[in-house]
Amino acid sequence: MADFVKTNDAAPSGFFALEAAGLRWLAVDGGVPCARVVSYDERSLTLGRLLSVTPTREATREFGSRLAATHHAGAPLFGSGPDGWNKDGYFGPLAEPLPMSLWGHERWGEFYAEERLLPMVRLAEFRLSDATVRSVEAVIERCRAGDFDDGDPPARIHGDLWSGNVMWTPDGVVLIDPAAHGGHRETDLAMLALFGCPYRDEVMTGYQSVRPLRAGWQDRVGLHQLYPLLAHVVLFGGGYAGQAEAAAESALAYAEG
């Protein structure tokens, strides 16, 4: 079976090198397998081709347990990039990737506020209502204050784990298209819920059988979805503004108890 080649003559510098580094960094023993990197250059990335199949409950449960192992491999700091990568990165589709900071922080809340929410809301604000911008800014202040910090160490996360980046193959799940960095493990899990994931309850069962989540994780989903929703506002328009506002309000409601 021939390899799969991604190309983009207008790709920003290092785009494919970072994707390759992310796939290799995420491919830890016992974790979720990642697409095999064959080669890359400034304009293309060649990967081993994957055969797609319909997911089963057993495969989704195994995906969850393996994802817990991937996360447990850890990262030096919140926001740090794959091993050996010392530049910023990218988030979003190949056709229009957005800049993504890979500057490390000791605290998750500080990282999420300064390197994710603040830059993205500034890009998105012309498509958001004033009330939504104020809500996002209030979440940023809560993050800076440490209201969402919980002692979880930096996890090794995919960073863009929506269902389209989860390939179901005859041998189980294989991950593609990462925005890999050190982050909070609930971020990947919240991304899976954003646009639908087959048998997501089974994924969560498998995950929690290996690394149980802290109580209240369901109420923090909006917090972790806020960044990708803001990115969708930037990339695809104000149709996502209502979801971003709801996510910000959910995060604030959780912080206020």
Is it the case that residue 1 has pLDDT exceeding 80?
A: no
Q: Enter the tokens of residue 251.
A: 């995060």
Summarize the confidence of residues 239-246 as an average pLDDT. 97
Q: Which of 88, 160, 171, 219 is catalytic?
A: 160
Q: How many alpha carbons lie under 13 Å from residue 40 in its C-beta half-sphere?
A: 21
- Please name each of the domains of the chain with its CATH number: 55-255 (3.90.1200.10)
The DSSP output letter for 178 is -
pLDDT digits over 15-68, tens only?
999 999 999 999 999 999 999 999 999 999 999 999 999 999 999 999 999 999
Active site includes 160? yes
* Res. 90 pLDDT band, cuts 50 70 90: very high
What are 196-233's pLDDT values in tens digits? 898 999 999 999 999 999 999 999 999 999 999 999 99
pTM: 0.96
Query: Based on the number of CB atoms within 10 Å of its own CB, is 62 exposed (0-12), middle (13-18) or buried (19 or more)?
Result: middle
Three-state SS at 39: strand
Beta-carbon contacts of 166 under 8 Å, excluding residues fewer than 6 positions away, are 63, 173, 175, 192, 197
The sign of the dihedral angle between the CA atoms of 193, 197, 202, 204 is negative
Nearest-5° angle of CA 158, CA 87, CA 90?
Answer: 45
CA 91/CA 98 separation, integer angstroms: 5
- Percent of the chain at pLDDT > 90 equals 94
Mean pLDDT, all residues of the chain:
96
Give the whole-angstrom CA distance, residue 149 versus residue 218: 16
Residues whose CB falls within 8 Å of the CB of residue 3, separated by 6 or more in sequence, listed in order: 38, 46, 47, 48, 49
